[in-house]
Chain A
């Protein structure tokens, strides 16, 4: 891991178009400002990891069709006022 020291107001650049700036410091918390192109997703690491895990958990299991039918039936009985048609 590359480790750099920066003061408040100073920045680092990553590649050609990502800039990370130290905006403020209070106690053990640091506020960062990030400038990046639109197609670069910037997330807190724990959110990124949780979302990856959830997507992987959602990737359909082999017997998913039958289970999805069961879930659909239960959902229908829960919301009888709602019609399934578009």
Chain B
């Protein structure tokens, strides 16, 4: 990644943010991290992101023909889904937004936030281990 992604319809709540950069999050201690930083080029705002594989194994998205064409995508293989992470006061309360995935075409560098009503808005990232 590292290239600017264009979100024609912006992000919900941030309609004027259309240009974003993705970068891998690099922890200060040099360790690897599953997170990306999604940073607006239009406004001083950024969001932590994570790939769905780290969150829910059975997370599947239906990509409609409209979404395909708005991304100028030939095949779903061009598209990457990333999820926005919401950090809260306590680490264990961190949630992931499964309802509003970011879908990015890595070829055309066009993205949008989908709304998938059947998935939760606040899915716990760190589910406590079953006792």
Contact = CB atoms under 8 A, between A and B. Distances in A.
A14 interface: no
A38 interface: yes
A79 interface: yes
30 contacts: A47-B99, A51-B13, A51-B97, A51-B115, A52-B13, A53-B13, A54-B86, A55-B14, A55-B100, A55-B113, A56-B14, A58-B97, A59-B46, A60-B45, A60-B46, A60-B47, A60-B48, A65-B27, A68-B25, A68-B87, A69-B33, A71-B126, A72-B33, A72-B35, A75-B125, A76-B34, A82-B53, A82-B54, A84-B34, A85-B32
Main secondary structure, interface of A, reads helix
Nearest to B8: A39
A74 B85 CA distance: 14
Nearest to A77: B126
Q: Number of contact residues on A: which range applies? A: 35 or more
B9 interface: yes
Given A47-B117, A54-B97, A54-B122, A71 B85 contact: yes
B2 interface: no
A2 interface: no
Contacts of B69: 38
Interface in B27-77: 27-29, 31-35, 37, 45-48, 53-54, 66, 69-70
B12 A52 contact: yes
B91 A71 contact: yes
A41 B70 CA distance: 12
B28 A54 contact: no
